A and B are shown apart, each in its own frame.
Chain A
């Protein structure tokens, strides 16, 4: 078995032991959703405040995405690490042995890192994808088009996250995606009316 195949096998084994897949899926959907809705807030705020300079939107959006990424990474690392330690201690009380150097202890440590990465990267990447039209602003010409394209992108990402959840729960992907889009539309409309002068 090659190095990567061995590592992949190990990761799969750790994932089974520490149920990494399930919790990572939950964090991914929840935080990608958070990331997109936050960026919708930034976009709508800039739009209603009539920000005409794409750089301002990019810098604000990028800083917000980065803050969300750091918040996710840091927060998930600390909370997940506390929960996993508690769980391992509980198991050690049952087995009456030190499990830190066993496969279970390693799986628990890997779980913390994987979950923290998913938790940090999901909102960061989702937000960056939504901002993509502003990065390509030169091609769009009019900034209003960038706003529309970004909001469209946001709804598309929300639909994708919803469809992903639909796949997880084995429900209708379109209905599940539409529910997510609903949240995006509510957020867009509320921001619009709040900012309308």
Chain B
């Protein structure tokens, strides 16, 4: 089976632990090379984050476990790239 190299997740998480701590923990997972978290909506106690993770061999289970341990919930998996290299979605005439 091919290796997962990039996942983009839509996550709802409490304000604490902060995204700095979450990013540090996610980047510490084996197979992860880079993590980017950006917040696109903030509520009184929670925030919506777009988490992009790239690496040579990502384990979705361990990523989800870290997110849950920090009180977050994955609302959707918005993008996945797997295989020998990372490719972006192709532009089609419909776009």
Contacts and interface: CB of A to CB of B under 8 A. Distances in A.
Interface residues of A, number: 13
Given A95-B71, A97-B73, A104 B14 contact: yes
B68 interface: yes
A104 B73 CA distance: 13
A99 B73 contact: no
B43 interface: yes
Interface of A is mostly: helix
A102 B73 contact: no
A97 B72 CA distance: 9
Interface of A: 13, 16-17, 90-91, 94-97, 99, 102-104
A97 B21 CA distance: 20
Interface of B: 12-14, 16-17, 21, 43-46, 68-73
Given A102-B71, A103-B69, A103-B71, A95 B14 contact: yes
Contact of A94 (B14, B16, B17): B14
A95 B47 CA distance: 10
Nearest to B46: A94
A118 B61 CA distance: 39
Contacts of B44: 94
B45 A102 contact: no
Contacts of B13: 95
B45 A103 contact: no
